[in-house]
Structure 1
Amino acid sequence: QVLLSVSVGIAVCPSTGASVDQLLMNADTALYRAKEGGRNTFRLYEPAMDIRIAERRLLEQDLRTALAGEQLTVWYQPIFDSTTSEISGFEALVRWTDSKRGYISPEEFISVAEESGLIVRLGEWVMQTACTEAMRWPEWLRLSVNLSPKQFLEPDLSGQIASILASTGLAAERLTVEVTEGVLIDNSDRALSVISSLKQQGIRVALDDFGTGYSSLRYLRRFPFDIIKIDRSFIRSLSDDKGSQAIVQAILTLGRSFKLKVIAEGVETQPQLEWLRSAGCSEVQGFLLGRPMPCQSVRAFLQPAAIPKERAHQA
């Protein structure tokens, strides 16, 4: 089975271009916006798009500067064991505060990094930084790092990660890498090889945003994942929506059947947490339990006195 998507940019003659070259350039600009909007869609060229494209190119230049300097940081969101109420690890999340622009949201600069090809360098930097900083934590805490599709399909990803682990001293068993379903669709054979290679090192592999794709169950049967992470869209309405409850319960049942750990993302309310705990969800993370924090705040967060009662006793 092959799943295809298409993005289309449209320029109309003569209203948005009189020459072939101008029409092609404007259609390409519209195509850029179509891809930016989530792909599998189309956009008609508008003059205002040129301004947006110019802004994105400037942002790309600034991101290159940030990668070469010290404007990027890694923040960590705690993940809790829902049975023991203990912190089991942290997920690494990249943050960018530009000297001129101020805080720039990941939603904005990650897409620029992907389109420009900078995402591989960015991903390597996050992996190196996160593994280095995780060595300051108690050794029982795990580290989870997201891999972009381009980084995941790098020719020697397994070797690159092995080199980072060797240079930082972080045990492979403490590292989990997260991938999304998109990387599996068009490159299933390559993905299987990469996942198997990572697992041979002792690294765990998680399927992120589970339940949002078309073939999630098929992927569980073929790929040797260790963890599935329930997409936050199902958690958002969990406490009062029967449909979301049925989906999450089905995912939890699948997890048990395949002997996988299941993590729920985006837990923001007490009713959500209580429902997940009663349903047997392995681990949880979200703003209710702990927001992303810089490395220097992790040790303080681990102190019992620094964790609010609802985190320490109800998480």
Structure 2
Amino acid sequence: MTELNVPTLENPASQQSVRELRQRNARREVTERRRMTERLRKALVTEGFVLHYQPIITLSTGFARGAETLVRLRHSRRGFVPAQHFMPIAERSDIITSLAGWTLREACRHAATWPAHFTTSMALSLPHLQSGQLIRQLLESLNQSGLAPERLELEIAEPALLDSNDDTVFALKALQGLGVRLALNNFGTFYASLSALKRLPFSTLRLDRSLVQNLDEDSGNAIVRAVINAGHALGQTVLAEGVENETQYQILVDLGADEGQGLYFGPPVGPDEMAAMFAPA
């Protein structure tokens, strides 16, 4: 039988090829990151960003109580690019402070035109929270728009609590002192301990969408029930992210969740469409 000459990683030539491939991929990633960074800088001065809003629904009534602010990057071919495709790059540079400041100003300006009982929420990155610029930007946004601070909710992702320190806790409590509401995003991924939640001033726990996706399974229901009960035990409102169908909605109501958000209730829309949804009939 003739032996096949199959290249293996033990072959020096194959090892060299793997190294070269990794180097090319690394160079490509650096180049793409640099291009995106420059695109983001340009977008800040050319109205290249836009805000969309997704309704937040009170599950017991089915009515909207507000909306979450979502940042989108305008693209000539791809349309509106979601934040997950560019925000990690922004957070690794000084762009995040300027972008977050713009988002705050615009979100407050839009929300100030909504009925007085509607709120807006927006994600807050750990680099922005720790930048030292947030309080100033927040006060300017609230003063310029006239939005009451209790109508603004800032979200911090649960994994960020792993990197939190005394300065982070101080910053969160300072935000609470200004009257702004705080939400813990992606709750239920089990990064945060209940003891940590007790010392942090969150008013809302946003259930991670991965938990909601498993609601048709008995074990998934039990986990969500436990998380909802834990949130209520801490005196916090529990919001379920990623609600996509009637079954999930009904189960969440039965389990005692307070609020919901997802495509079942409506997709993200522009500020004009959001204002029209809030307008009286």
Normalised TM-score (structure 2): 0.88
Q: Identity across aligned pairs (percent)? A: 35
1:192 matched residue in structure 2: 169
Q: 1:304 to 1:137 in 2, by over 3 A?
A: closer
Give the Cα separation in 2 of the matches to 1:95 and 1:214: 28
Q: Look up the match of 2:231.
A: 255
Per-residue displacement from partner, 1:87-107 (whole Å, max 9, x unpaired)? 100000001112466443322
Q: Is the 8 A contact 2:105 2:141 kept in 1?
A: yes
Letter in 1 for 2:89: V
Aligned positions of 1:145-184 closer than 5 A: 145-184=122-161
CA shift, 1:162, in A, is: 1.6
User: 1:226 Cα shift?
Assistant: 0.6
Q: Are residues 272 and 250 of structure 1, via their aligned partners in 2, closer, same or farther at CA, if it must alter by over 3 Å?
A: same
Amino acid of the residue matched to residue 125 of structure 1? Answer: W
When residues 216 and 292 of structure 1 are mapped into structure 2, their CA distance, relative to the original with a 3 A threshold, is: farther
Query: Contact conserved, 2:162 with 2:191, CA < 8 A, in 1?
Result: no
Partner SS, residue 98 of structure 2: helix
Choose 98-107 or 123-132, whichever is displaced more: 98-107
2:106 equivalent to 1:126: no
The question of 1:205 aligning with 2:186 is answered no
Distance 2:81 2:266 in 1: 21
Structure 2 equivalent of residue 71 of structure 1: 48
Backbone CA RMSD of aligned residues: 2.3
Q: Is the 8 A contact 1:66 1:98 kept in 2?
A: no
How far apart in 1 are the matches of 2:139 and 2:52?
22
Equivalent residue pairs, number: 269
Counterpart contact for 2:71–2:82, Cα < 8 Å: no
Contact 2:161 2:191 (C-alpha < 8 Å) held by counterparts: no
For structure 1, the 5+ residue unaligned runs are 1-11, 18-22, 27-43, 306-315
Superimposed CA distance per residue, residues 29-77 of structure 1 (whole angstroms, 9 cap, x where no aligned partner): xxxxxxxxxxxxxxx9342332232122112111110011112100000
Q: Are the aligned partners of 1:143 and 1:174 in contact in 2 as well (CA < 8 Å)?
A: yes
Distance 1:277 1:100, change over 3 A: closer
1:116 partner SS:
coil
Summarize the alignment of residues 1-315 of structure 1 with structure 2, pairs less than 5 Å apart: 15=16, 45-99=22-76, 102-238=79-215, 240-302=216-278
Structure 1 CA distance, aligned partners of 2:30 and 2:134? 31
Residue 3 of structure 2 corresponds to which residue in structure 1? none
